[in-house]
Structure 1
Amino acid sequence: MEAWLNAARMAAGVNMVLLLVLGSIWLRNYRQHGARHTLGLLVFAVLLLVQNGLWLYFYVLHPDFIGWFVNSGTDVQVGVTMLCGLELIALVFLTRITWL
């Protein structure tokens, strides 16, 4: 079903935007304070950014993966989409508490 694929694409794209926002905040804070904890958060953001970029590549540009996703069962489609969705919820929460 194309709707689940579009939802996964959207979640991965929004995740990347949120990770860029968080990464820029944490980079600025690391430059100001040099705290190891902030460096850890920055590395976390970069790794998740790479992960979501790879997901977005598969969701948008990889025809074999798109074909597999569309032809798989609804349970697989929902499960894979929920992984990006749960990450989105976590990143929205993290962005909210970081921004304030």
Structure 2
Amino acid sequence: MSLMLDVARVAAGVNLLLLVALGAVWGRNYLQIRSKHTLGTLVFAGFLFAENLLALYYYLTAISLPLAAVRPMMYLQVLEFVGIAFLTYVTLD
């Protein structure tokens, strides 16, 4: 279980870093373009950042987490990482 929790922690941490990069680009785009779409992407990054920050907080401070909760959360964090990594790739390309 420790390995699964470590993978979830790393995925959440990397997601936070990628979302900071995306938020910076999308924020700059919003300041230049001022469209609803660019604002939507910026708000999207903000909510994803908050979700990953909260998840990382729980992963780091929880005394014990049940295996039934850790495994699906790890899968979700890794899938979220893949999605955010792809968004980062197409945004910064």
2:15 matched residue in structure 1: 15
Percent identity for Structure 1 against Structure 2: 42
1:45 matched residue in structure 2: 45
1:79 deviates by: 1.6
Q: Paired residue for 1:86, among 62, 79, 85?
A: 79
Which letter does structure 2 place at the counterpart of 1:84?
Q
3-state secondary structure, aligned to 1:68 = coil
Number of residue equivalences? 93
Structure 1: 5+ residue stretches without partners:
none
Which letter does structure 2 place at the counterpart of 1:39?
L
Distance 1:8 1:68 in 2: 12
1:93 deviates by: 0.4
User: What's the RMSD between the two structures over aligned residues?
Assistant: 1.1
Distance 1:53 1:28 in 2: 22
Distance 2:56 2:29 in 1: 28
Distance 1:35 1:4 in 2: 40
1:78 deviates by: 2.6
Structure 2: 5+ residue stretches without partners:
none
Q: Paired residue for 2:65, among 59, 63, 68?
A: 68
TM-score normalised per structure 1: 0.88
Dislocated runs of 4+, deviation >4 Å: none
Which letter does structure 1 place at the counterpart of 2:5?
L
